[in-house]
Amino acid sequence: MCKFTQNQYISFAVVFFILLFRASICLAEFTIDDEKKLGKEFYDQMGKNHLLLENRKLNDYINQIGNLILAQSKKVPFEFHFSIVDSNAINAFATPGGYIYINKGLINVTENEGELAGVIAHEIGHANGRHVASLIEKSQKLNIATLAAIIAGAFLGGGGEATAAIAAFSVAGSSSLTLKFMREHEEEADRLGISYLVSAGYYPAAIVDFLKIMKQYEFLSKTIPSYLQTHPGTDDRIFYLDSLILTQYHQVGVKNIIGNFSRMQAFVSLDTTDLNMKYRQLEESLKKDPNNIDLLYILALAEDQLGQTNSALNHYQKALSLSPLDEDVLKNIGLIYLKMGKADLSQDYLLRAANLNANNDEITLALGKAYFALGKYQNALDCYMKLKYKSLDDEDINYFIAMTYGKLNNQGESHYYFGLYFKKAKKKESALFHFKEALNYFPQDSERTGAINQAIKELNSDEHKQFFGKSKH
């Protein structure tokens, strides 16, 4: 779980000072190109500071919803990006340039896919309406450092920590500045958002249902959720949206289109801070609905994390009996058998999963591990090489390729891929050792030798010396 510190908020304020200064050549004419540049640099800073959730399954899910909504909109010329912020704060926001951010805390409190789609549709409405750009243009006469701090605090949320960042940059006479959208901004985003939402096939009241959840959190916690801080006038918005639904949107719509919402939510909610409590809640829910496949799946996930392997396996097997073609269940059974040292059973389930979806990278990686455990090294290598250029969560495929080439007695390729692995891990000396060893196995004029020499050159360059610094290897 990510918790933003005061220093992180202040650093974001500094970042925005720099970024907005670059874009302030003529703030009165904040162009599309200015938006793209500012949005990209903010996105890059989020990534560099590890504030984005790196879970491909969740990110793919958010992108599927986002792209489904985008297909219904006449959008400005942005290349939209959808990301999940690794924070439990209930927030969502659109920065300039078509960058949409959803906090994992917001995903946790939504009750169905339609509500989540409604939030995304609303934020796309803000992006298409260029509302943040409008606020920046209108704020040109105010202190730009204060504006930077407020953008960092308002978007990233966090109560006192955000306030501390703002205070650190505040200037007398500008304390009334906020990043709350104006009433006309909210109405346009709601109007566009509900139009996109209904056109995509979701039920019209999804946005209203979400806003009512937010009001409930406000009432129960006696604090305003960060989403409501930057999206003011909630009661007015509910009234406005209800009027649109009554007069314009009579379609029934559905709550789920992409599907598996509960499973996606489980990936967010099953963190170590409340895992035991979540587990007890799931047990109680399953007693009331014992054949609910998603509940069985999520409970098994929790049990696996808690080390209750046999119980997890039993719940996965029951889920599979109810849904024999469920690739996620098949994959996770295969992973549990692999963990138990039963690679032959693991292989069987993973092959069944792969037959259902040969393009699932998680299944391909798991099958490669099963083959490796069974001594089927060429089969394992074939799996790993399919993932050579893929980005995997918390895994470096170069390590598995290197290990497998070693088992196949191909020392040159093994050293080369170990070199790539250590280079990516920022362990310069280990990387250099393996690259230099690899040179002994390839002809001097070969393509592989050229790649190795290029990697060595990069490691020894001034840029890499500064990058690696004085880290221990």
Of 217, 247, 277, the residue at which a domain comes to its end is 247
Beta carbons within 8 Å of 186's beta carbon, 6+ residues apart: 231, 232, 233, 237
Using CA atoms, how far apart are residues 70 and 283, in angstroms rounded to an integer? 38
| Model pLDDT, residue 222 | 54
pLDDT band at residue 156 using 50, 70 and 90 as cut-offs: low
Beta carbons within 8 Å of 44's beta carbon, 6+ residues apart: none
Using CA atoms, how far apart are residues 406 and 419, in angstroms rounded to an integer? 13
**Residue 269, domain member (yes or no):** no
**Residue 298, domain member (yes or no):** no
Beta carbons within 8 Å of 423's beta carbon, 6+ residues apart: 431, 455, 458, 459
Count of residues for the chain? 473
Tokens matching residue 329: 């269940």
Confirm if 383 and 371 have CB atoms less than 8 A apart.
yes
**Residue 240, domain member (yes or no):** yes
Q: Say if strands 92-95 and 81-85 run parallel, antiparallel, or are unpaired.
A: unpaired
pLDDT for 188 beyond 50: yes
| Model pLDDT, residue 357 | 93
Q: Can you tell me whether residue 99 is helix, strand or coil?
A: strand
Using CA atoms, how far apart are residues 262 and 66, in angstroms rounded to an integer? 18
Q: Which domain holds residue 434?
A: 396-473
**Residue 457, domain member (yes or no):** yes
**Residue 409, domain member (yes or no):** yes
pLDDT band at residue 331 using 50, 70 and 90 as cut-offs: very high
Sign of CA dihedral 441, 444, 450, 455: positive
Q: Can you tell me whether residue 360 is helix, strand or coil?
A: coil
Highest-pLDDT range among 2-6, 117-121, 423-427: 117-121
Of 207, 224, 247, the residue at which a domain comes to its end is 247
Tokens matching residue 460: 């020894």
**Residue 470, domain member (yes or no):** yes
Of 216, 247, 278, the residue at which a domain comes to its end is 247
pLDDT band at residue 10 using 50, 70 and 90 as cut-offs: very low
Region for residue 4 given its phi and psi (left: phi exceeds 0; alpha: psi -120 to 50; beta: otherwise)? beta
Using CA atoms, how far apart are residues 213 and 112, in angstroms rounded to an integer? 12
**Residue 362, domain member (yes or no):** no
Our count of domains for the chain comes to: 2
Give the tens place of pLDDT for each residue, 359-381. 999 999 999 999 999 999 999 99
Beta carbons within 8 Å of 453's beta carbon, 6+ residues apart: 439
Closest CA to 343 of 335, 355, 353, 332: 335
CA angle 260–264–269, rounded 5-degree value: 140
pLDDT for 32 beyond 70: yes
**Residue 418, domain member (yes or no):** yes
pLDDT for 74 beyond 60: yes
Using CA atoms, how far apart are residues 78 and 89, in angstroms rounded to an integer? 27
pLDDT for 166 beyond 50: no
Sign of CA dihedral 279, 280, 281, 287: positive
| Model pLDDT, residue 152 | 54
pLDDT for 464 beyond 50: no
Compute the radius of gyration of the chain from its Cα atoms: 25
Q: Can you tell me whether residue 375 is helix, strand or coil?
A: coil
CA angle 85–90–93, rounded 5-degree value: 60
Beta carbons within 8 Å of 18's beta carbon, 6+ residues apart: none
